[in-house]
Amino acid sequence: MRIEVALGSRSYPIILERGCLGRLSALADLSCKLLVVTDEGVPPSLLEGVLAQCPRAYPLILPQGEGSKSLAAFEALLTHMLEKGFSRKDKVLALGGGVMGDLAGFAAACYMRGIGFINCPTTTLAQVDSSIGGKTAVNLKGMKNLVGAFHQPILVALDPDALQTLPPRHFAAGLAEAIKAGLLGDPALFRLFEEGDIQQNLEEILARSLRVKKAIVEQDEREAGLRACLNLGHTLGHAIESAEGLGGLYHGECVALGMLPMIEDASLRQRVKAVYGRLGLPQSIRYDGEAIYRFLCHDKKAAGGFVTLVRVPALGQFRLDKVPLTDLPAIIGEGIE
């Protein structure tokens, strides 16, 4: 399946096909020099399969984890390209989850003011969310995505088979972003999580999630307004993610929790919780409300005493609410039930 993201001169195709990583050379010109950026947790067979198709590939295998989204790793990529004599015609390829995509995409955005970037996402989170939309970034001093750029890829190659090796908890956490897409704009996508077999419906879940995100990004590439809806669950979710002592929850798990208080219809909230139960996502949490509040007040998105919350009045609908920080303690409470 081919999904075209229409952004004028920055348009690009998403190829969603089982086994497409083995056919990359038919999808893009790989005869240039290619920096292949991956991490130690990505199965070596995936890397070997990609390298076999690239006559002039330079692989770089980084430590796994959020720590690789650093300026040090960014510099290492740029230095590698400089030492290998990369020109503006050469390309960067990311093979891995959102960490590799964000880092490699940012290096591609900056090297010689921007070279071609191919994204091959291998986690559910990256396949349903981070690999499309053109946001690239690294972290600075503990601040997530503080340094980054918009840089659209020239190709996203999405191989559902690559997800088979993902640990189940990670597989489920990434799907929280697909539930988010369903809540925002695709009731049929949400129902795929409620009914039927998730593995069997995986390709449709991926395709539908991508279409929701594509439609939003096409209307608001640089987040002037509408695109902020993709932050559903993230305002509170990021605070939960950053609060200490909450047991190392994954990003998707925090987003899942953060979405719950944003769902205004109580019966829909119960349906969402039931889906979390099916997937093994957390349905409730206790926390120190004051610590969450302090984090939200310092969030880079909290400007001028207000924070924008994405609320879901009904399945497939959303509203952006500008809420004064003083209203937050009542929303945050001491946990999510």
Report residue 241 as tokens: 């993610």
Least gap, CB of 267 to ligand NAD (angstroms): 29
Identify which range of 82-90, 149-157, 162-170, 220-228 contacts ligand NAD by CB under 6 A. Answer: 162-170
Q: DSSP letter at 225?
A: S
Is 33 a binding residue for ligand NAD by CB under 6 A? The answer is: no
3-state secondary structure of 322: strand
Tallying the residues shown for the chain, one arrives at 337
Do the beta carbons of residue 165 and residue 42 sit within 8 Å?
no
41 touches ligand NAD (CB under 6 A): yes
Residues 104-133 that bind ligand NAD (CB under 6 A): 122-123, 125-126, 129-130, 133
- How big is the site for ligand NAD, counted in residues (CB under 6 A)? 31
SS3 content of the chain, % helix, strand, coil (to 5): 50, 20, 30
Which C-beta is closer to ligand NAD: that of 33 or that of 206? Answer: 206
Decide whether 130 or 209 has the Cβ nearer to ligand NAD. 130
**Helix, strand or coil, per DSSP, at residue 59:** strand
Looking at 48, 66, 321, 334, which residue binds ligand NAD (CB under 6 A)?
A: 66
Task: Supply the angle between the helices 251-259 and 168-185 in degrees, to the nearest 10.
Answer: 40
CB of residue 329 to ligand NAD, shortest distance in Å: 27
* x/- track of binding to ligand NAD for residues 176-215 (CB under 6 A): ----------------------------------------
User: By rule CB under 6 A, what string of x and - marks binding of each residue 239-258 to ligand NAD?
Assistant: ------------x-------
- Which of 39, 159, 241, 253 is close enough to bind ligand NAD by CB under 6 A? 39
Is 100 near ligand NAD (CB under 6 A)? yes
List, edge to edge, every strand of the sheet that includes 2-5.
Answer: 2-5, 12-16, 155-158, 116-121, 91-96, 34-39, 57-62
As a whole number of angstroms, the distance between CA 267 and CA 321 comes to 21
DSSP conformation class of 312 = B
Please identify, using beta-carbon distances, which residue of 90 and 129 lies nearer to ligand NAD: 129
Catalytic positions:
113, 135, 177, 213, 223, 227, 231, 234, 238, 251
Question: Please, what is the minimum distance in Å from the beta carbon of residue 274 to ligand NAD?
Answer: 24
Query: Residue 292, interface with ligand NAD (CB under 6 A)?
Result: no
Give the integer Cα–Cα distance in Å for 67 and 238: 17
Which residue's CB is nearer to ligand NAD, number 91 or number 251?
Answer: 251
Nearest CA to 151 out of 190, 119, 181 is that of 119
Range list of β-strands (E), the chain: 2-5, 12-16, 34-39, 57-62, 91-96, 116-121, 135-140, 143-150, 155-158, 285-286, 306-311, 319-324, 335-336
- Residue 199: strand, helix, or coil: coil
Q: Which is nearer to ligand NAD, 69 or 208 (CB)?
A: 69
Give yes or no for residue 97 binding ligand NAD (CB under 6 A): yes
List residues binding ligand NAD (CB under 6 A): 39, 41-43, 64-66, 69, 96-100, 102, 122-123, 125-126, 129-130, 133, 135, 144-145, 162-163, 165-166, 170, 174, 251
